[in-house]
Amino acid sequence: MSKHEFQTEVTQLLDLMIHSLYSNKEIFLRELISNASDALDKLNYLCISDDKYKDLKYEPKIQINVDKEAKTLTITDTGIGMSKDDLVKNLGTIAKSGTKSFVEKLSGDAKKDSSLIGQFGVGFYAAFMVASKVEVQSRKAGAKSANAWISSGGGEYEIKDSKKEEHGTTITLHLKDDEVEFLEAFRIKSIIEKYSNHIPFAIFLEESETKDDKTEISNNQINKASALWRMNKTEIKTDEYNDFYKSLSHDSEDPRLHIHTKAEGKIEYSTLFYIPKTAPFDMFRVDYQSGIKLYVKRVFITDDDKELLPTYLRFVRGVIDVEDLPLNVSRELLQQNVILASVKKASVKKILGELKKLKNKDFEAYKEFYAVFGKVLKEGIMGEFDNRDLLLDLLLFKSSSRDELIDLEQYKEKMAEDQKEIYYITGESANMLKNSPLIEGFNEKGIEVLILDEEVDTIVIPNIGQYKEIPLVAANSANVGSADVDTKELDEKFAEILVKMKEELKDEVKDVKISTRLKKSPACLVYDKEDPDFAMQQMLKQMGQGDMPPVKPILEINADHEIFTKIEDKKDFIALNNVSHVLLDLAKLSEGMKLEDGADFADRINKLLAGSL
């Protein structure tokens, strides 16, 4: 026997399990059954792909036993099993980056919500919500010896040699005194029916019944063990779809929608996809876990292939089951497989099509979906070519002239007859963007501007290029509106002011020009067409390109503003020096920039205030 200490995060997690978490305790059984099913899936795969296991004889099943006298609940599977090292790796540590932040999240407002546990892949530890001690006895397929893992949920666990006739894993829960409800057959059956009815392996429950002083023991299958995705859609109830989703995703909520497809013909396959209501915890992590399981003729192949769907659909959960792949297809060959490429292409089109149907049929529900997954959908613009138009139709935007979210088609419908471009503005704050000097001219003309206040917009939106042959143009582009107004007369009238401002600000701006877009504000910053604006520069820095040379903006001034008309009338070019710097700093602030020298800004403001008194 050897004693081991839990990884720090496991200890913290177990403490939460035992002392804080209490909602929906029954999920412990769902998690243990799901783990058992995974173990059977993996052994099935090895039996067809690895010569060492091809002659292995066994019956894939999950067995549940209860002992009311001893207050124990036992779950046994005939799956792949675990070695001593596996027990330490799988049950003593959480081999997942982000564990610390996950534990912190559980320690906060969500500490009583056990639904997060399974989503993170640590469902085994849910057993400690109902058990005072857990024993795991396991023998790896092909091994001659077995080992036992024992813990009472403290800071340590024991591992010792054990005996087990067959490969697989047996988990024995010593239930707490107030959790004996989980020893009742009706309670176990109701949980299995709710969460695990369509696990593709038979689940048996041993029951004893006393009649006429005689005890009869029966062992009956308590689940359907049908691969739900291969059934006819007309035979499946909504509750069954939802319950299968929960067992598949470890989510406690119903999905937003399911997409069930059975394709016949040249390529035969079944797919069952789910759109969740809440985002997977790792959605924005590089090491996110794929939510799709691949089967071939109902035989599990893999659940860690991120190429089954494009990255921007990584929130989708579900199953792909293909008929035409060889059962022993290697995971290395999956990415080059022509059949899977066809299935992927059809699946993406189907998923996007169903999302569009949701958008057209129930816009409120779609907005809820978009609030959670809109950022991820936008990523698809960068690499999606086959379904680009469909993806564009799914994007929603804030607007300068409407309170509700709109799509590009709605923007197009409202365009004036002589309007030839779709305008947008990017930045950090929607409120700041709606009040930006850059769109004053647009507002006066009744031209709508898309308000883009998410970081991803800066990279993605310029890549759209055009929508139905209408170009998308940034409102802070230097050439916007320049063809509509002839500034030659103003350029001549304010020539001296422009020359002096250019000289004064030469280290900070590329040029100073008369604006054709400003109506109320005295100045604003714009950028040459080929130059990244401020929001783009910030994004590039976050992407590790902070060593790029700074891009100078163009300062546009409002020749009709009284600041410039008074300076021109009085020929007060001494005050212009301070005014130039103050206006540039104010323009920066309206863009969300930080001033490099706040003290200098304050000093210039004070001087201008003193001079005005």
Q: In this structure, what token pair is assigned to residue 449?
A: 């501007």
Question: Number of helices and strands (H, E) in the chain?
Answer: 20, 22
Q: In this structure, what token pair is assigned to residue 412?
A: 């197009």
Q: Which residues contact 517 (CB under 8 A, 6 or more apart)?
A: 437, 438, 439, 440, 441, 442, 475, 480, 481, 524, 556
DSSP calls for 248-289 = HH--SSPPSEEEEEEE-SSS-EEEEEEE-SS--TTTTSTTPP
Per-residue pLDDT, 336: 74
Over residues 108-118, the mean pLDDT reads 49
Helical (H) or strand (E) element with 218: strand 214-221
Q: Give domain status of residue 533, yes or no.
A: yes
Strands annotated E in 1-115: 2-5, 61-67, 72-77
2, burial (CB in 10 Å: exposed 0-12, middle 13-18, buried 19+): exposed
Question: Pick the residue with more confidence: 112 or 134?
Answer: 134
Structure-token match 């070695």, residue found: 83
Q: Give domain status of residue 372, yes or no.
A: no
Residues 512 and 460 in one domain: no
Residue 418 CB: number of other CB atoms within 10 A?
6
Q: Give domain status of residue 134, yes or no.
A: yes
Over residues 212-216, the mean pLDDT reads 75
| CA 308 and chain centroid, separation | 16
Per-residue pLDDT, 17: 65
Per-residue pLDDT, 111: 44
Q: What are phi and psi of 273, to 5 degrees?
A: -110, 150
The answer to whether residue 341 scores a pLDDT higher than 80 is yes
The answer to whether residue 224 scores a pLDDT higher than 90 is no
The answer to whether residue 23 scores a pLDDT higher than 70 is no
Over residues 283-310, the mean pLDDT reads 86
The answer to whether residue 299 scores a pLDDT higher than 60 is yes
Residues 217 and 262 in one domain: no
CA atoms of 200 and 37, how far apart (whole Å): 8
- What does pLDDT average to over the chain? 86
Per-residue pLDDT, 393: 95
Over residues 36-43, the mean pLDDT reads 91
Residue 594 CB: number of other CB atoms within 10 A?
7
Query: Can you give the CATH number for the domain in which 536 is found?
Result: 1.20.120.790
Per-residue pLDDT, 545: 65
The answer to whether residue 96 scores a pLDDT higher than 60 is no
Residues 321 and 336 in one domain: yes
The answer to whether residue 395 scores a pLDDT higher than 90 is yes
The answer to whether residue 104 scores a pLDDT higher than 80 is no
Residues 193 and 284 in one domain: no
160 beta partners? 148
Least confident of 105-109, 173-177, 303-307, 427-431: 105-109
Residues 310 and 345 in one domain: yes
Query: Which of 316, 334, 361 is a domain's end point?
Result: 361
Q: Is 68 in contact with 181 (CB distance < 8 Å)?
A: no
Query: Can you give the CATH number for the domain in which 415 is found?
Result: 3.40.50.11260
CA atoms of 123 and 127, how far apart (whole Å): 8
CA-atom Rg of the chain in angstroms: 32
Owning domain of residue 513: 488-612
At 454-473, the pLDDT tens digits run 988 888 888 898 999 999 99
Instruction: Place 534 in a pLDDT band, splitting at 50, 70 and 90.
Output: confident
DSSP calls for 121-134 = T-GGGGGGGTEEEE
Question: Pick the residue with more confidence: 116 or 177?
Answer: 177
What is the strand order of the sheet 554-557 is part of?
511-514, 554-557, 523-526
Least confident of 93-107, 239-253, 593-607: 93-107
At 495-526, the pLDDT tens digits run 899 999 999 999 999 999 998 889 899 999 99
Query: Can you give the CATH number for the domain in which 194 is found?
Result: 3.30.565.10
**Cα dihedral sign for 558, 563, 567, 569?**
positive
Residues 258 and 133 in one domain: no
Query: Which of 206, 221, 236 is a domain's end point?
Result: 221
Residue 410 CB: number of other CB atoms within 10 A?
15
At 246-289, the pLDDT tens digits run 888 888 899 999 999 999 888 999 999 999 999 988 898 888 88
Q: What are phi and psi of 539, to 5 degrees?
A: -65, -45
**Tell me, what DSSP letter sits at residue 149?**
E
Residues 416 and 451 in one domain: yes
Q: Give domain status of residue 376, yes or no.
A: no
Domain count, the chain: 4
The answer to whether residue 331 scores a pLDDT higher than 70 is no
Per-residue pLDDT, 541: 73
Instruction: Place 97 in a pLDDT band, splitting at 50, 70 and 90.
Output: very low
Least confident of 13-17, 109-113, 388-392, 397-401: 109-113
Cα-Cα-Cα-Cα torsion 587, 589, 590, 592, nearest 10 degrees, comes to: 130
Per-residue pLDDT, 170: 97
Q: Give domain status of residue 481, yes or no.
A: no
Per-residue pLDDT, 179: 94
Residues 211 and 233 in one domain: no
Structure-token match 């299935």, residue found: 343
Q: Give domain status of residue 55, yes or no.
A: yes
Query: Which of 221, 252, 278 is a domain's end point?
Result: 221
Per-residue pLDDT, 80: 95
Per-residue pLDDT, 344: 94
Bin 24: left if φ > 0, else alpha if -120 < ψ < 50, else beta: left
Percent of the chain scored above 90 by pLDDT?
50
Instruction: Place 114 in a pLDDT band, splitting at 50, 70 and 90.
Output: very low
Residues 323 and 443 in one domain: no
Q: Give domain status of residue 406, yes or no.
A: yes
Residues 599 and 539 in one domain: yes
Per-residue pLDDT, 110: 46
CA atoms of 265 and 130, how far apart (whole Å): 50
Which ranges of 52-96 would DSSP assign to H, the alpha helix?
A: 84-91
Q: In this structure, what token pair is assigned to residue 300?
A: 């599990």
CA atoms of 433 and 449, how far apart (whole Å): 10
The answer to whether residue 137 scores a pLDDT higher than 70 is yes
Q: Give domain status of residue 369, yes or no.
A: no
**Measured in Å, how far apart are the chain's first and last C-alpha atoms?**
88
Range of 207-211, 411-415, 547-551 with top mean pLDDT: 411-415
Residues 158 and 236 in one domain: no
Instruction: Place 328 in a pLDDT band, splitting at 50, 70 and 90.
Output: low
At 402-431, the pLDDT tens digits run 999 999 999 999 998 889 999 999 988 899
Cα dist from 301 to 91, 169, 271, whole Å? 24, 21, 15
The answer to whether residue 18 scores a pLDDT higher than 70 is no
Per-residue pLDDT, 112: 45
Query: Can you give the CATH number for the domain in which 272 is found?
Result: 3.30.230.80
Q: Is 32 in contact with 49 (CB distance < 8 Å)?
A: no
Per-residue pLDDT, 19: 61
Q: Is 342 in contact with 267 (CB distance < 8 Å)?
A: yes
What is the strand order of the sheet 299-302 is part of?
257-263, 269-275, 317-322, 292-296, 299-302
Residues 18 and 152 in one domain: yes
